Amino acid sequence: MSDLQHTLNQLRAALGETAVLTGAAINQRHYSDWTGHAPACPAALLLPTSTQQVADALRICNAAGQSVVPQGGMTGLAGGAVPRKTDVALSLERLRGIEEIDSAAATVSVWAGTTLQEIQQAALDAGFLFPLDLGARGSCQIGGNIATNAGGNAVIRYGMTRDLVLGLEVVLADGRVLNLLNKMIKNNCGYDLKQCFIGSEGTLGVITRAILKLAPLPGETTTLLCALPDYASAVSLLRRLQRSAGTPQAYELMWQDFFRLGVSWLENPTAPLSQDYPLYVLFESAGPRELLEQTLEAALEAGEVLDAVLASSQTQARALWKIREATGEFPLRMTPLNFDVSLPIGQIGDFAELCRKRLEQRWPGNHSVYFGHIGDSNLHLTVDCNSLPQPAPILEIEELVYTAVGEMGGSVSAEHGIGLLKREFLHHSVNAQARQAMQQLKDCYDPRGILNPGKILG
């Protein structure tokens, strides 16, 4: 009997026949994540239903030196959950459900395989907001959100996933269960171990449960579109709005080429402003409308804002957001190569200029667009591969962009993680000593290297 067969027999004995699938019984959605990168049918798919079963599975695999790839909703954009055919995939999809909403503590306790949308709905039903929100909400699991430290739409107000996690239960590679569950805001009992697992992309442990912070429901929001003369104005306007117009919920910057594209793809392609401007910002706040009107007037007087539209209804606000949501059309209308980077806020304008210049020098006439959640220091840039010589020189473009990120002290991954796809570029943002310290942490928690090998560190 092969070593793998022996391990699978042990896993079947511990988890039950129906929790250990092989071959054609494994649904193809477990072959790759949203990127479709290097799909492979794993040697087996494990479907545990309890923390104890996760612990048993990992203990057996660790003893056998069998690699294990934790899988959530498979919506990741960095290849982190993609298995090789020699790996065992461990899906958390049967560890699902809300355990408790504690209204006094304003927390929700959940199993790792619960979808983000289920948690949002449960919070809403209890009169709270669970503020993490991203386009994949219906499929991504909270375990995956925590393992990738997902960002999303409301970071400027509520922070990244890390800021919403109060406690975790984690199973280590050898099957030890760490109970780091906690409902308290203040809790300084030595090292805060849960932080190691947030953003660790399944390489340090398997998250099985979490306790998350809930927020009060926000009041009515106001949406404002401003046209700006330059990037410096975008930064000073952000600070002015934060000072005087209530808490921002969104601050989305769009460079002119992105904005034009977004307008041209509208069902009724009419620009909300009568002429073109270098930059546009879409701002949303939960503060009083009068305060926003006064602040806008002052910004217009100071020349920070050249023109503006203050949405007078939810319908008008939706119409403005449609321009920013043009990104949803990218895969249909171009062959996009997307970048998700971050830089110190003051430097994002220079970075965009530098990148555009270098891309133009190397591939004259190429088409790239720039936009981002700049209040979170996050810039997205998309290069249309159809505007490049074929086959598109993907690696060369990535090297060009990430080199510029490194030169300006930025991060090659703002929110999607490193996984497989950014591993070769990690050195632009994390120096050799820090990468070595990461490896030491990995060796400490997973000495046999069975958890998600090849991800983040290679």
Ligand X SMILES: Cc1cc2nc3c(=O)[nH]c(=O)nc-3n(C[C@H](O)[C@H](O)[C@H](O)COP(=O)(O)OP(=O)(O)OC[C@H]3O[C@@H](n4cnc5c(N)ncnc54)[C@H](O)[C@@H]3O)c2cc1C
- Out of 48, 83, 131, 202, which residue is the one contacting ligand X (CB under 6 A)? 202
Distance of closest approach, residue 116 Cβ to ligand X, in angstroms: 8
Contact (Cβ atoms closer than 8 angstroms) between residue 352 and residue 232: no
Please identify, using beta-carbon distances, which residue of 331 and 344 lies nearer to ligand X: 331
Nearest-angstrom CA–CA distance, 224 and 317:
8
Give the integer Cα–Cα distance in Å for 105 and 166. 11
Residues 393-422 that bind ligand X (CB under 6 A): 415-416, 419
State which amino acid sits at residue 294.
Q
Least CB distance to ligand X at residue 340 (A): 8
* Helices vs strands, H then E, count in the chain: 14, 18
Q: Using CA atoms, how far apart are residues 68 and 426, in angstroms rounded to an integer?
A: 23
- Check residue 81 for interaction with ligand X (CB under 6 A): yes
* Binding track, positions 17-46, relative to ligand X; x by CB under 6 A: ----------------xx------------
166 binds ligand X (CB under 6 A): no
**What is the distance between the alpha carbons of residues 222 and 218, in angstroms, rounded to a whole number?**
12
Q: How far is the CB of 278 from ligand X (least distance, A)?
A: 26
Residue type, 134: L
CA distance 233 to 303: 8
The residue range among 66-74, 269-277, 382-390, 427-435 that interacts with ligand X, by the rule CB under 6 A, is 66-74
Does 150 contact ligand X by CB under 6 A? yes
Nearer to ligand X, 3 or 192 (CB): 192
375 contributes a contact to ligand X by CB under 6 A: no
Residue 425: CB minimum distance to ligand X, A? 17
> Both tokens of residue 12?
């079947």
How many residues lie near ligand X (CB under 6 A)? Answer: 37
Token pair recorded at residue 196: 């190691």
Assess contact for 88 and 66: CB atoms under 8 A: yes
Residue found by looking up tokens 């977004």 in the block:
262
Q: Applying CB under 6 A, does 73 fall inside the site for ligand X?
A: yes
DSSP 442: H
Taking alpha carbons only, the member of 401, 406, 411 closest to residue 342 is: 411
* Token pair for 53: 């079963």
CB of 147 to ligand X, least distance (A): 3
Q: Which lies closer to ligand X via its Cβ, residue 89 or residue 296?
A: 89
Q: Is 199 in the site for ligand X (CB under 6 A)?
A: no
Q: Which of 42, 48, 83, 152 binds ligand X (CB under 6 A)?
A: 152
Residues in contact with ligand X by the rule CB under 6 A: 33-34, 69-77, 80-81, 92, 112, 134-136, 140-141, 143-145, 147-148, 150-152, 201-202, 206-207, 415-416, 419, 452, 455
